[in-house]
Chains A and B, each alone.
Chain A
Amino acid sequence: MPQSKIVSLAEMVARVPDGSSIALGGSFLHRGPFAFVRELIRQRRRNLEIVKQSPGYDIDILCRAGCVGKARAGIVAMEGNFGLAPWYRRAVEKGEIVLEEHACMTLTAGLRASAFGIPFQPVGGVHGSDLAALNHWASILDPYGSGREVWVIPAIRPDIAVIHANEVSAEGDTRVYGTSNWDRIMTRAAKRVFVVAEKLEALESFQKRPELTLVPGFMVEAVAVVPNGAWPGSCWPHYEVDYPAVERYMDTSGSLEEHMASAPEIAEATHA
């Protein structure tokens, strides 16, 4: 029998050194590993590099708590009716964090390079964008003679990919319902993979429908089961965005501590 990879959320975060590059799954307020992100704050991680095509709440709260050194991101916003991510915006405007601005697909190209084990990866588009010069991206002429010029993005290799999944086995097999967003490529590009999941399922359930497994267990280092762990975001089909909670988070008169104390993983730990 393979060993169980189940750890507590606290133990999982204890494995993350300061200065780590972390790819976070999900998109905006949907299926993000937000309980993990809040635990990074509780354990006072510093100088993290956050890699995500469309971060929002996660990078905002990490900036608010002073945990971020660098962001490599495509589009950053709270979305819905909430607009810009205020603490992230302030951190960039004040020069408190370094931003590497991408298009979502250039970031993905960098991840693909790592997943494929090559130093760079061609990407479609980018022509005419100031992002190319800003990031010192190179373009190459098709060596096979089509005359087309293609932009190439250097490999992006996160230390850890952390995704929030619907179901996981103790061995690490991971299932996601609905869109997997960018989670698949993140788990292939990173050196280590952590999975936080709503629910533990027996290995047999994965063996019955292996084609539904997004990440095979052997690639996963650690598993934490945290019901409602994507709060205040959604985790389809279990729960929707908790909009009142996001509103309270956005209200600058409220404190970060208040928000953190109302998180579901606190209640879980208290009841355990």
Chain B
Amino acid sequence: MPEGWSGFSFIVTNLARFVRPGEVTFSGVNSTPPMLACLLAKRAYDFEFVYINVAGGVQPVPSKIPISSSDPVLAEGSASIFANEDFYDLCTRGGMDLCFLGAAQVDGLGQTNVSVIGDWHHPKVRLPGGGGGAVMLPTARRAVTWRTEHSRRTLVEKLDFVTAAGGMAGVVTPIAVFVKRDGRLALQSWHPEASLDEVRERTGFAFDAAGASPTALPTQREARALLSLDPEGQFERDARVALR
């Protein structure tokens, strides 16, 4: 059983720690870490919550953990199919408690860019694009994102393009957990092998760190649940998360 954090376990487990009892929690396309986080929360925590996903699954019991976070296997064991229009409409009418959404860049307000690096009309890099964000980020009760790279090019002062506003309630990177406080991202905790100084050094926006401390280590149950989801370490290898 791992004693500390890897960058990968840090991201997945700290995403899972945003899941709360009784809530409706959603994971989407292109979202392997949140998919694992939702499944981890099911295995590691005693409380009930409603896990829905982009494959139409509602409280699914998948027979295996897919590479693609939209794989239909994620609806296995589901008693209903809650298709795309259903979960978007649920979100916009205020019924989505926690929504995991991807981002390429995040700013200090928790706004995201998933559209483009450079000018939209003359892109340096054309990114995947809009996706769920513009509609779900402002309408979900809480939205949380992750970055596998913690740097000034991913956590920026100014986004190249504001794909989605509304503000993330949480952001998890390999070395930090941010939460929204007074409308801005504030540091909640940092990877025990990093430091507050390092997080500041590698973050493009200014943030409040009052009360922040090293992240509590994974519990036995969290570590065991992640191991059961990724026994061969394939997801960890594929995610290629480096602390530095």
Residues in A lying within 8 Å of B, measured CB to CB: 27-31, 53-54, 73-77, 79-81, 84, 88-89, 92-93, 99, 101-106, 108, 123-131, 134, 178-182, 184-185, 234, 236-237, 240-241, 243
Contact = CB atoms under 8 A, between A and B. Distances in A.
A129 B132 CA distance: 12
Nearest to A178: B72
Q: Could you say which interface size class chain B belongs to?
A: 35 or more
B138 A178 contact: no
B171 interface: no
A108 B165 contact: no
B135 A125 contact: yes
A237 B78 CA distance: 14
Interface of B: 29-30, 54-56, 67-73, 75, 81, 83-85, 88-89, 91-93, 111, 114-115, 120, 123-139, 161-166, 238
6 contacts: A89-B126, A99-B126, A105-B134, A123-B92, A129-B133, A130-B162
Contact of A103 (B55, B68, B124, B133): B133
7 pairs of A and B residues whose beta carbons are closest in the complex: A128-B165, A124-B92, A179-B56, A75-B131, A236-B72, A125-B135, A103-B134
A102 B137 CA distance: 14
User: What is the predominant secondary structure among interface residues of chain B facing chain A?
Assistant: loop
B123 A93 contact: yes
Contacts of A27: 29, 54, 70, 84
Nearest to B164: A129
A127 B129 contact: no
User: What is the predominant secondary structure among interface residues of chain A facing chain B?
Assistant: loop
B111 to A, nearest CB: 7
Most chain B C-beta atoms within 10 Å of own C-beta, residue among A31, A103, A180: A103
